[in-house]
Amino acid sequence: MASASTDDPHPLRRSSSYEYLPPYMSELRVVLLGNSWSERSSVGNLILAKAVFSTEKEPNRCLTVRGPLKEKEIVLINTPDLLHPNISEHKLTEHVENCVRLCDPGPHVFLLVLQPEDFTEEHKLRLCRVLEKFSERSYDHSLVLISTPRKKSPALMEKYIGQPVLKDMIMKCRYRYLRQKNLERPELLTGLGRTAKENSGEHVSCEIFQDPTSTSAGDNQRTKHKEAKTTTLTDAVKAAGLQAYTKFSEQLSQLSLSEKTPVPHSE
């Protein structure tokens, strides 16, 4: 993993010799999540090296932009406010489904852009809820990016990182995190690429959203139950057939014996 499991996590560092993506990956699909549209958009623009996302007006849908990544491609999906306290379960599922379709067959990395002074226990629970909507393995594919605190203070960032809520989120994401202050594009791209490489270039599987014809859990249970009943019935038929075959064989043997036994002629 990026860092050792410790109570004093350290951010990922850039390696000048590190390629953004391993040779077997042709593109990197990244989903931006967090509690500020403006911050997510600024980070997205930094990744793409141009102002693509508006930092002012927040849309009510996911936005996708493709850009070059050396000789390969990066696909960014910027999400609306999925951490809003009043968002319904139906609406959240709808946004997640749309996000998955836009990054088909699935995202490689979730970039969690978090404002430290606003990241409360409630925000953490909402973020976990969103990640788990995609997959239980989303944490393995997540990289935390901590925004610069609005108040300028050298010791303030260390204070926020040491808080249990943010610390716990970093731990859930396998201690992968970067600080936005003085962060340059190559360092951020390296962090994204390293997260993908640690997962062997595999994307998050979200099959439940990709296939609209897939059956529900209830349907699956009913199918399994039906298959079990069919198997039981088949076994019973086989057993009955075996018994019938055994009886028929016995009858056939008796008939054969009677045919071979000479019948005395009456005078």
Average pLDDT over residues 41-60: 93
Residue 205 DSSP code: P
- Alpha carbons within 13 angstroms on the beta-carbon side of residue 111 total 34
Instruction: Concatenate the DSSP letters of all residues of 160-187 into one string.
Output: HHTSHHHHHHHHHTTT-EEE-TT--HHH
Higher-confidence position of 132 and 213: 132
Pick the CATH number of 27-210 from 3.40.50.850, 3.40.190.10, 3.20.20.70, 3.40.50.300: 3.40.50.300
- The Cβ of residue 103 has, within 10 Å, a number of other Cβ atoms equal to 21
- Highest mean pLDDT (candidates 11-20, 55-64, 258-267): 55-64
Average pLDDT over residues 153-160: 75
Average pLDDT over residues 198-216: 70
Residue 59: predicted pLDDT? 87
Phi, then psi, of 175 in degrees rounded to 5: 65, 25
Rounded percentage of the chain residues whose pLDDT exceeds 90:
57
Residue whose entry in the numeric block shows the structure tokens 């079990």: 228
* Residue 210 near residue 100, CB atoms below 8 Å: yes
Give the span between the Cα atoms of 98 and 88, in whole angstroms: 15
Residue 232 pLDDT exceeds 50: no
Residue 147 DSSP code: P
Q: Which of 38-47, 70-79, 207-216 has the lowest mean pLDDT?
A: 207-216
Q: Output the average pLDDT for the chain.
A: 79
Element (H, E) at 66: strand 63-69
Pull the structure tokens for residue 188.
């951020």
Pull the structure tokens for residue 131.
């990640």
Residue 224: predicted pLDDT? 43
Give the span between the Cα atoms of 233 and 261, in whole angstroms: 42
Residue 70 pLDDT exceeds 80: yes
Pull the structure tokens for residue 109.
């990395």
- Radius of gyration (C-alpha) of the chain in whole angstroms: 30
What number of H helices and E strands is found in the chain?
A: 8, 6
Element (H, E) at 229: helix 217-260
